[in-house]
Structure 1
């Protein structure tokens, strides 16, 4: 039975961790590639894995679920509450999972946060970022591409980045608008906008307020020439501008 195999596997992992603890060695990295067969999820207890990880105060957490498939129904693993029970993480990278309805954990040590193919809304994002005072690198990829077509995982119109005093790099994909306010240390912005050339009517599609530290800007979308010129004019220390002409229908 699959359930018996999982139990044996968990026992093996727990014994291995016990041996490491007896030697007073710390586990720095915990990576879990989640099962790819839908039927197996009935037998799999993620709580057990996360409890083992949290006991060791790990620094790096990587969880990888199913990538989105156009010809198959989306199946995202719902992460247990135990996933965010630890406040020792410095790096969290999650792909193809659901975070759950409430994210109230604090991440005082978190420096890198990457959420790829994760269903998010403004409330979840605000809650997460409000508890990451040391965050330096942020990646939010909310859409995926197949045969040069973009597919949305959630309808997120806007992202606001503020009160992140240490943030240096932000990579955002799958939104219509981004607002960045008073981030003194941010140097790199990578933005994949959903809007195409006929969608742009708001002059604040990318709203940068007091962000003179930006040195590199990468844009993936379709913007009017004048719009880009006006945007660059607001960035006195910009050294590198990369512009990839993309639309929701392809290159």
Structure 2
């Protein structure tokens, strides 16, 4: 920022400009001006060179500045960046992002009646667009967040979107809160834009259109959108540059067939109603993320995606055979995340490329043999310890979260039925002693605090087990790490027990254990 101040000192500051600056800024400028009067031409040239070299923020590449502007929440904040330097001012005028949040605008105006609120919002957006166009500024991105949608607002929204399209809009982010199944129908002009690169649609309805032409579209996100199967097929076939394709809580999608998209990098399908089959034929696909429903089985075919690197599946219907058939076809897979895959029972995961593995909530998983010599991170959450590692030497970060088991309405704690459970856990931790990050979470109603802190030199807890003693016998040291307030936390049974203690009320305890 000093570089900006020094550059501004070349010209005489007006009284208005001086009022905007702080005392420290004025001192810096005045001091610089005083130094300039004493310097020769050669010295001035050297000073300018030093000042410009310090102005690193103006030397950023244009696409980086574009990205910074896109992350700013408020249009006014983005506009303020134009004072940083001439370069930022030029980029700001060519990279305009218009964001209109109906609820925020109506609250700022202090309207009480709904009719006045809607009118205020419409006037605000219309005036902002008119002022923008008078300055002959382009529209890089239009964001409309509609919280109180009605049919009277629809033609105004059409008009705003059409104005943006006429001014070469590149991205449209439209979020409509749906009430009483009142969807907003996206205007047909959107599907004939030669400049749009990104569409993020929430709470809309897409009408069938055969002549879709979006030659520049790269990102398509549909969230709570009612789609027609034909329009989805036409979108995919008419947008050859799509890189990122996402369907989230959508209805009307019967099948997803993706092919001939050479630039496709990411596909996500989350909790969509009805899809029976997903088939992706994209040779350069890097990421696939699917979250399904137990009552709606879906056949997934990713056979042609041989270069897949990240695979996330939340699919209650996936069997051992289905998984092995898919996994064997991804030799370059680096991240594998399996959640709530309740039909999985016995898995063999063998890969030299795999770096991160997550097994979360697969409640029927009995055995998982993991042979991944380059595995860096592993996370497990469940009520068993079904996994085993052939070679965990590269594992640096591990997280284990063990839950109680419910059997015949009774809570069944890890270690109660299997006396070797803690011995196996100790063996596992011994294998992972080289890890730099290890997190172990065991939830239990038992008096964990009392058992650990008052175990004595020779705990009398395993009188009938002479060979395999429980975890307390091998525990060498316990250190209370910290006490933290737990206000607002979920009241699990274990937390409820902590709160019931007169000494630990409303607090949680963290321990560092050593064996």
Matches within 5 A, 1:207-246: 207-222=301-316, 223-245=318-340
1:75-102 Cα deviation digits (max 9, x unpaired): 2111222333422011110001001232
1:193 positional shift: 2.4
Q: Decide which structure has the larger Cα Rg and report it.
A: 2
On the 8 A contact 2:240/2:261 being kept in 1, the answer is yes
Alpha carbons of structure 1 residues 103 and 140: separation in structure 2 relative to 1, 3 Å: farther
On the 8 A contact 2:303/2:326 being kept in 1, the answer is no
* Counterpart check, 1:157 vs 2:272: no
- The residue that corresponds to 1:121 in the other structure is 228
* Counterpart check, 1:192 vs 2:287: no
- For 2:265, which of 155, 158, 168 is the aligned residue? 168
1:5-39 Cα deviation digits (max 9, x unpaired): 56633541342122331xxx42211111124243x
* Counterpart check, 1:42 vs 2:152: yes
* Counterpart check, 1:8 vs 2:128: no
* Residues matched between the structures, number: 223
Matches within 5 A, 1:5-84: 5=120, 8-9=123-124, 11-21=126-136, 25-38=137-150, 41-44=151-154, 45-67=156-178, 73-84=180-191
Which secondary structure state, in structure 1, belongs to the residue aligned with residue 338 of structure 2? strand
Give the structure with the larger strand fraction: 1
On the 8 A contact 1:88/1:109 being kept in 2, the answer is yes
TM-score by length of 2: 0.40
Alpha carbons of structure 1 residues 33 and 190: separation in structure 2 relative to 1, 3 Å: same
TM-score by length of 1: 0.79
Alpha carbons of structure 1 residues 83 and 63: separation in structure 2 relative to 1, 3 Å: same
CA distance in 1, matches of 2:301, 2:334: 19
1:179 positional shift: 0.6
Which secondary structure state, in structure 1, belongs to the residue aligned with residue 135 of structure 2? helix
CA distance in 2, matches of 1:115, 1:97: 9
Which secondary structure state, in structure 2, belongs to the residue aligned with residue 64 of structure 1? strand
Residue segments in structure 1 that go unaligned for 5+ positions in a row: 144-152
1:186 positional shift: 0.4
1:130 positional shift: 1.0
Give the structure with the larger helix fraction: 2
On the 8 A contact 1:176/1:193 being kept in 2, the answer is no
Which secondary structure state, in structure 2, belongs to the residue aligned with residue 186 of structure 1? coil
| Worse-superposed segment, 42-51 or 111-120 | 42-51
Across the aligned residues of Structure 1 and Structure 2, the Cα RMSD in angstroms comes to: 2.5
- For 1:139, which of 246, 253, 278 is the aligned residue? 246
CA distance in 2, matches of 1:84, 1:34: 21
Which secondary structure state, in structure 2, belongs to the residue aligned with residue 74 of structure 1? coil
CA distance in 2, matches of 1:118, 1:20: 35
1:214-234 Cα deviation digits (max 9, x unpaired): 111110111222321221012
On the 8 A contact 1:104/1:128 being kept in 2, the answer is no
On the 8 A contact 2:293/2:315 being kept in 1, the answer is yes
CA distance in 1, matches of 2:149, 2:276: 34
Q: Which has the higher contact order (CA 8 A, sep 6+)?
A: 1
CA distance in 1, matches of 2:289, 2:314: 8
1:4 positional shift: 5.8
Residue segments in structure 2 that go unaligned for 5+ positions in a row: 1-114, 343-360, 362-515
